[in-house]
């Protein structure tokens, strides 16, 4: 029985209050506004008063408009037909395809029982050396990309979407600039990756409320596919916009803010999304990479700070490269001993040498005299930056490891690297003419 | 149930609902929200007129105004009895593996299973006889639970002196079978079973007296035991920014600490970390007992994506189970990771109740709640003369890594030791990343106090010199100062830091700590004679390297003694004439 009500008592921000009966908490409603209809969700109930968060925003809502309750929570259709499709934050098609209605699933389902989780063990190859070699991504991992606004984080995500070895990609865009949305669509289309992708895109000009639904829809769909055995990679950009939408709504609801205006449950809200990352023992997996822009490059800002406590490491994107220091995949130890036996050595040695290179750069900037060793380091560092750190690389892990040996051999004698001789014998490039 | 009282939902806001009632309600009693076939557990947290405000331990989606709420009359409680060890519970004591068996991958709301299966049977041996006089908490008999004698005790809720009317013979009984009947002063007969129920928010006090924690609890982490020790029955906290190694530290302590039982409360943290404990503990063999670690562990796990209100209850569930085993004369260590998430759960609820907020929107009662939680730790003398203890270690996850925030500050007021983790140290891959300059402890060290004071002085001085050196450079530093700086580096590198992956170095017992620190004391107390700074640095580098090798040798092995001699020779070789040995730096 779907009743219609027309007594809107209050409109405040994007929340309207209507008097109604027999409504379920978090249920959906439709509001018939002059300009069309919009979905809305129950976010609070008090006696007869039902508070609705209007997806399309409250602009133009009249106190006389009709509200019809749908008797079910937010749902989304989930089937193979979603592949290659693009939806908005309300789950409606953004491309010109048909609306889907079969096999509806609730979004924001229950959490996974921790007793059913397993220790992650499968590496995901991205073809990007700074990830594969230095901070391997692991199935079921949740990793944020901490970035200053202006860094090419969307380019990085698009590249990962194109070349990562997973069964499917789900992209959740929040507060995306329209250009960026087009960039994602066109890039994936050009590279033929669109057919294994599903987009949920909320652009900056869309209503705020829809931004909040994007991760839930993306992850609910991911979960369904993972349960069917698919290895799903969920890319979210940008979670700071998501948090800002939370802030906006909670302040409208007159909630007491805790830190810089963000609601007290920011941690729980973020965790509820990130913790959807999982490796199902007998089925597929969900891995999450989420861009989190850091306002003012401040990692102690509430959004990156809370995120850091939730996720399993982080990538720092600086000067269009993944910063080798500070970036960390906490799960890499689970997998990088099973790839190739020189993997960990390359990772450790190259990072250490690169750290020395950075020190040399500092010394150089301060006008100190450069030693012969410094010159070697400078040569090495430049090669490392050019060949390894490039985010436009697409190199399989083994090739990347070989490249690592190559870069070192071009600058150093084997003994200078401190690598064990067994590995040197096996991997050090043989007929290499070292230029002094 | 006979005295069921009912109310109906009048408002919903997140996980808080308002229920209208006619009869009466009890503050903090458990209520069930009835939604079709589902019964959602909740707790009364505020009463206003005819409205009771309840925090629901589940997701509240699709609840409706007018739906029935059933008040149970009981406070939120846990089941206590044999069979708790090795279990994995959620914050409301639902066994997670059994839930997984029944419902698969996902947690289903409103489904609760008994924590201890009623039909499980245990072989009971009585230790009292008819007509004996007993009090609450006194031992009636025991069952064998793994490696422990699990004492069955007079229900903690009974009062005054009781007389045993009947006691079961040796035999196998189910958990709820009556094993004893007890007569109180008024002649009323109470029956006791192996299982008892206790409300989680009320401390168990069935002991003779609570004592001051004096005896050190060896965690086998040198930095803790020697410099910032924890006492049996004491409390400590580990605040640190993300990625500074809080959880790793807790995991290692749970493995190595000299303790009977470890209760891990994974409160609002990553599920992945619990999984690691879950999957590895059954396989790690405890060197002391030769049994898997899991057999002396209970895990209470309410990870970050599980309902928030149950997160709040999880630390209480954990501490109640800890107190229960303490009553048997065991030493229990409770590790709560992380108390900040627990505090945040309180903040969320407080916000929904629209209470006037305190600092950073935490409720004004944050401090008292934290204090009363840590106060449940302690070493107690039981009525039979034996001792039992609960030690509580809580991690704190301060926002932005800044210790000036309310949860860290409220915790520091009540704990006995503070192990502050520093991001600088963890970035420099120094394990454990506990900051030796900021941390403190009020407990007694396993090493001679005077030696430790000297060690701390050197560390402090070395840091001052290091700060100065950053400004004036090595050239401007005197050789004497430079050597003090090297001594500081030496203590840090060979004693404060441990190699968690080295079998021997990962855990150092108290005896070895005393032995090794004696030599360190000798080194730092010796006036060393160097030509220049280069020699000073080189000598210390050699010393450090030798020491590292020494650290990973079994104590009293031949190699151990040999290496010790090498170290002593180096020091002796560089020492100034003998008469100067005792001279202070």
Tens-digit pLDDT profile for residues B308-355: 889 989 999 999 999 999 999 999 999 998 899 999 999 988 988 889
Decide if A261 touches B, using CB distance below 8 A: no
Q: If we measure between CA atoms, which residue out of A331, A335, A215 comes closest to residue A275?
A: A215
Could you read off the pLDDT of B84-102 as tens digits, one per residue? 999 999 999 999 999 999 9
Smallest CA-to-CA distance from A215 within A112, A312, A109, A298 is with A109
A48 touches chain B (CB under 8 A): yes
Query: What pLDDT is recorded for position B2?
Result: 52
pLDDT tens column, A181-191: 999 999 999 99
What is the token pair recorded at B354? 């629209």
Q: Tell me what pLDDT residue A45 has.
A: 94
Question: Residue length, chain A?
Answer: 436
Chain A residues within 8 A of B65 when measuring between CB atoms:
21-23, 45, 47-48
**What own/partner pairs with CB < 8 Å and gap ≥ 24 does B106-112 have?**
B106/A109, B106/A110, B106/A111, B106/A112, B106/A113, B107/A110, B107/A111, B107/A112, B107/A113, B107/B306, B108/A110, B109/A110, B109/B38, B109/B40, B109/B58, B109/B59, B110/B35, B110/B38, B110/B39, B110/B40, B110/B41, B110/B58, B112/B41
Quote the pLDDT of residue A1.
57
**Binning pLDDT at 50, 70 and 90, where does residue B1 land?**
very low
Interface TM-score (ipTM) > 0.90 = no
Query: For A20, which residue in chain B has the nearest alpha carbon?
Result: B65
Segment B126-135 mean pLDDT = 95
Q: Which two tokens stand for residue B46?
A: 């505020």
Residue B581's pLDDT is 45
- Which residue bears the tokens 């000598």? B539
- Cα(B228)–Cα(B54) distance, integer angstroms: 42
Name the percent of chain A lying above pLDDT 70. Answer: 98
Mark yes or no for CB contact B275/A227 under 8 Å.
no
Q: How many C-alpha atoms does A376 have within 13 Å on its Cβ side?
A: 17
- Mean pLDDT confidence for B433-445: 95
Q: Does the pLDDT of residue B244 top 50, yes or no?
A: yes
What DSSP string runs through B521-536?
HHHHHS-B--SSHHHH
Q: What residue in B sits closest to A329 (Cα-Cα)? A: B243
Q: Nearest-CA distance from A69 to chain B in Å?
A: 12
Residue A196, pLDDT above cutoff 70: yes
Q: Is pLDDT at A18 greater than 50 in this prediction?
A: yes
Map residue B364 onto helix, strand or coil. coil
Q: Which domains does chain A have, with CATH numbers?
A: 4-73 (2.40.10.170), 76-332 (3.40.50.12240), 343-427 (no CATH)
Poorest-confidence range of A169-178, B48-57, B110-119, B568-577?
Answer: B568-577
Question: Residue B61 and residue A25: Cβ atoms within 8 Å?
Answer: yes
Q: What mean pLDDT comes out for the span B158-167?
A: 94
Asked whether the beta carbons of B259 and B267 are under 8 A apart, the reply is no
Q: Per-residue DSSP letters for A74-107?
A: -EEE-SGGGTT-EE-TTS-BSSSSPP--SSEEES
Res. B80: pLDDT tops 70: yes
In order of start, what are the domains of chain B with their CATH numbers?
5-75 (2.40.10.170), 80-102+208-441 (3.40.50.300), 121-194 (2.40.50.100), 449-580 (1.10.1140.10)
Structure tokens belonging to residue A111:
């959490």
CA–CA dist A356, A248 (Å, integer): 45
Which residue of A26, A44, A271 is in closest CB contact with B305? A271
The reply to whether residue A111 touches residue B306, judged by beta carbons under 8 angstroms, is: yes
CB contact under 8 A, B242 and A309: yes
Residue B51, helix vs strand vs coil:
strand
CA distances from B118 to B77, B82, B122, B153, B322 (A): 16, 11, 11, 18, 21
pLDDT at residue B577, rounded to an integer: 53
Q: How far apart are CA A159 and CA B31, in angstroms?
A: 52
- The number of residues in chain B equals 585
- The proportion of chain A whose per-residue pLDDT surpasses 90, expressed as a percent, equals 73
The predicted pLDDT at position A435 comes to: 43
Partner B contacted by A227 (CB < 8 A)? yes
Lowest model confidence (mean pLDDT) among A405-409, B3-7, B44-48, B456-460: B3-7
Question: Best interface-test mutation with A: which of B400, B474, B475 has the largest number of A CBs within 10 A?
Answer: B400
How many CA atoms lie within 13 Å of B277's alpha carbon, on the beta-carbon side? 33
Helices (H) and strands (E) in chain A, counts: 12, 23
CB contact under 8 Å between B271 and A45, yes or no, is no
Residues in chain B closer than 8 A to A251 (CB atoms): none
Per-residue pLDDT at A431: 65
Which among B417, B380, B294, B277 has a CA at the least distance from the CA of B337?
Answer: B277
What b/e readout covers B138-165, taking b as 16+ CB neighbours within 10 angstroms? Answer: bbbbbbebeebebbbbbbbebeeebbbe
Q: Check pLDDT > 80 for residue B557.
A: yes
- Rounded mean pLDDT of chain B? 92
Both tokens of A76, joined, read 């989304």
Q: Cα dihedral sign for B428, B433, B439, B440?
A: negative
Residue A35: per-residue pLDDT: 83
pLDDT at B579: 46
> Could you tell me if A263 lies within 8 Å of chain B, comparing CB atoms?
yes
Contact in structure between A60 and A8 (CB atoms under 8 Å): no
Residues A73-130 pLDDT 10s: 999 999 999 999 999 998 999 999 999 988 999 998 899 999 999 999 999 999 999 9
**Taking 70 as the threshold, does the pLDDT of residue A434 lie above it?**
no
How many Cβ pairs closer than 8 A exist between chain A and B? 167
Is the model's pLDDT at B496 over the cut of 70?
yes
Residue of B nearest to A22 (CA): B64
Q: Is the pLDDT of residue B3 over 70?
A: no
- Name which of B546, B550, B543, B541 is nearest B505 in CA terms: B550
Is the CB of B304 less than 8 angstroms away from the CB of A267?
yes
A73: chain B residues, CB-CB within 8 Å: 61-62
- Matching residue, tokens 């002391």: B288
Q: What is the spatial distance between Cα A57 and Cα A16, in angstroms, rounded to a whole number?
A: 10
- Lowest mean pLDDT of A129-133, A154-158, B221-225, B527-531, name the range: B527-531
Q: Distance between CA B91 and CA B393 in Å, rounded?
A: 18
Considering chain B, what percentage of its residues have pLDDT values greater than 70? 98
A45 CB neighbours in chain B (<8 A) are: 11-13, 65
Q: Which residues of B touch A309 (CB under 8 A)?
A: 242, 397
Which of B507, B519, B484, B486 minimizes the C-alpha distance to B224? B507
């Amino acid at each position: 029985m779907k009743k219609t009500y027309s007594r809107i008592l209050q409109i405040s921000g994007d929340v309207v209050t209507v008097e109604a009966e027999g409504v379920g908490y978090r249920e959906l409603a439709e509001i018939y506004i002059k300009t069309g209809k919009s979905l809305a969700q129950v976010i609070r109930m008090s006696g007869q008063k039902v508070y609705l968060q209007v997806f399309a925003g409250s602009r133009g809502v009249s106190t006389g408009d009709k509200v019809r309750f749908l008797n079910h929570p937010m749902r989304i259709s989930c089937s193979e037909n979603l592949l290659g499709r693009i939806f908005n934050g309300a789950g409606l098609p953004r491309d010109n395809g048909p609306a889907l209605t079969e096999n509806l699933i609730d979004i924001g389902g229950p959490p996974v029982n921790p007793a059913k989780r397993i220790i992650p063990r499968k590496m995901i190859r991205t073809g990007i050396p700074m990830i594969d070699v230095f901070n391997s991504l692991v199935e079921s991992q949740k990793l944020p990309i901490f970035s200053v606004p202006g860094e090419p984080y969307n380019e990085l995500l698009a590249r990962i979407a194109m070349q990562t070895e997973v069964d499917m990609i789900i992209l959740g865009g929040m507060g995306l600039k329209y250009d960026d949305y087009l960039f994602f669509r066109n890039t994936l289309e050009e590279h033929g990756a669109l057919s294994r992708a599903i987009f949920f895109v909320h652009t900056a000009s869309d209503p705020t409320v829809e931004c909040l639904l994007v991760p839930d829809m993306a992850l609910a769909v991911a979960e369904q596919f993972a349960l069917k055995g698919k290895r799903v990679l969920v890319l979210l950009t940008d979670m700071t916009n998501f948090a800002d939408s939370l802030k906006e709504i909670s302040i409208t609801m007159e909630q007491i803010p805790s830190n810089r205006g963000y609601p007290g449950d920011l941690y729980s809200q973020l965790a509820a999304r990130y913790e959807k990352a999982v490796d199902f023992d007998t089925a597929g997996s969900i891995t999450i990479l989420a861009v989190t822009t850091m306002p003012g490059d401040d990692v102690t800002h509430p959004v990156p700070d809370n995120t850091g406590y939730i996720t399993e490491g982080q990538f720092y994107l600086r000067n269009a490269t993944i910063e080798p220091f500070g970036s960390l995949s906490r799960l890499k130890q689970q997998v990088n001993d099973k790839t190739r036996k020189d993997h960990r050595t390359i990772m450790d040695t190259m990072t250490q040498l690169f750290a020395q290179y950075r020190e040399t750069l500092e010394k150089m900037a301060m006008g100190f005299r450069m030693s012969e060793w410094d010159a070697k380091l400078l040569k090495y560092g430049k090669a490392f930056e050019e060949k390894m750190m490039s985010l436009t690389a697409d190199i399989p892990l083994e090739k990347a490891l070989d490249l690592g040996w190559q870069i070192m051999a071009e600058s150093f004698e084997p003994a200078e690297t401190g690598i064990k001789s067994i590995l040197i014998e096996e991997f050090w490039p043989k007929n290499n003419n070292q230029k002094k | 149930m006979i005295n069921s009282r009912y109310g109906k939902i009048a408002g919903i806001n997140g996980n808080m609902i308002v229920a209208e009632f006619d009869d009466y309600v009890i503050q903090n009693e458990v209520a069930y929200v009835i939604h079709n076939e589902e019964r959602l557990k909740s707790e009364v947290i505020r009463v206003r007129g005819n409205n009771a405000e309840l925090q629901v331990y589940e997701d509240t989606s699709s609840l409706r105004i007018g739906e029935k709420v059933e008040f149970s009359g009981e406070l939120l409680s846990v089941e206590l009895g044999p069979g708790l060890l090795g279990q994995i519970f959620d914050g409301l004591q639902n066994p997670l593996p059994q839930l997984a068996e029944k419902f698969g991958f996902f947690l289903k709301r409103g489904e609760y299973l008994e924590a201890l299966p009623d039909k499980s049977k245990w072989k009971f041996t009585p230790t009292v006889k008819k007509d004996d006089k007993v009090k609450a908490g006194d031992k009636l008999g025991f069952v064998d639970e793994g490696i422990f004698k699990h004492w069955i005790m007079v229900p903690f809720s009974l009062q005054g002196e009781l007389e045993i009317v009947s006691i079961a013979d040796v035999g196998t009984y189910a958990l709820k079978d009556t094993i004893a009947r007890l007569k109180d002063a008024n002649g009323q007969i109470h029956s006791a079973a192996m299982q008892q129920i206790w409300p989680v928010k009320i401390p168990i006090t069935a002991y003779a007296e609570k004592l001051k924690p004096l005896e050190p609890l060896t965690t086998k982490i040198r930095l803790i035991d020697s410099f910032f020790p924890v006492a049996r029955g004491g409390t400590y906290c580990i605040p640190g920014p993300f990625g500074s190694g809080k959880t790793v530290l807790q995991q290692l302590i749970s493995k190595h600490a000299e303790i009977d039982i470890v209760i891990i409360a994974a409160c609002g943290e990553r599920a992945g970390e619990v999984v690691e404990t879950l999957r590895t503990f059954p396989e790690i063999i405890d060197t002391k007992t030769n049994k898997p670690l899991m057999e002396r562990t209970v895990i209470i796990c309410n990870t970050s994506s599980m309902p928030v209100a149950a997160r709040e209850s999880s630390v209480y569930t954990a501490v109640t189970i800890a107190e229960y085993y303490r009553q048997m004369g065991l030493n229990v260590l409770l590790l709560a990771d992380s108390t900040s998430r627990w505090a945040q759960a309180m903040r969320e609820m407080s916000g929904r109740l629209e209470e006037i907020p305190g600092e950073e929107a935490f409720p004004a009662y944050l401090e008292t709640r934290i204090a009363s939680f840590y106060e449940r730790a302690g070493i107690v003398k039981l009525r039979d003369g034996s001792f039992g203890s609960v030690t509580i270690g809580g991690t704190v996850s301060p926002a932005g890594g800044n210790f000036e925030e309310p949860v860290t500050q409220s915790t520091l007021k009540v704990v006995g030791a503070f192990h502050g983790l520093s991001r600088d140290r963890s970035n420099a891959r120094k394990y454990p990343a506990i900051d030796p300059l900021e941390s403190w402890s009020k407990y007694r060290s396993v090493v001679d106090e005077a030696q430790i004071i000297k060690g701390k002085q050197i560390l402090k001085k070395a840091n001052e010199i290091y700060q100065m050196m950053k400004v004036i450079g090595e050239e401007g530093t005197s050789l004497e100062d430079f050597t003090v700086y090297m001594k500081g580096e030496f203590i840090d590198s060979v004693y404060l830091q441990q190699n968690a992956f080295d079998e021997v170095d990962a855990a150092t017992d108290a005896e070895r700590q005393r032995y090794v620190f004696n030599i360190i004391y000798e080194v730092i107390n010796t006036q060393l004679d160097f030509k220049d700074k280069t020699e000073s640095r080189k000598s210390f580098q050699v010393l450090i390297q030798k020491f590292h090798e020494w650290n990973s040798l079994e104590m009293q092995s031949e190699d151990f003694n040999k290496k010790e001699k090498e170290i002593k020779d180096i020091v002796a070789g560089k020492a100034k004439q003998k008469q100067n040995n005792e001279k202070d730096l």
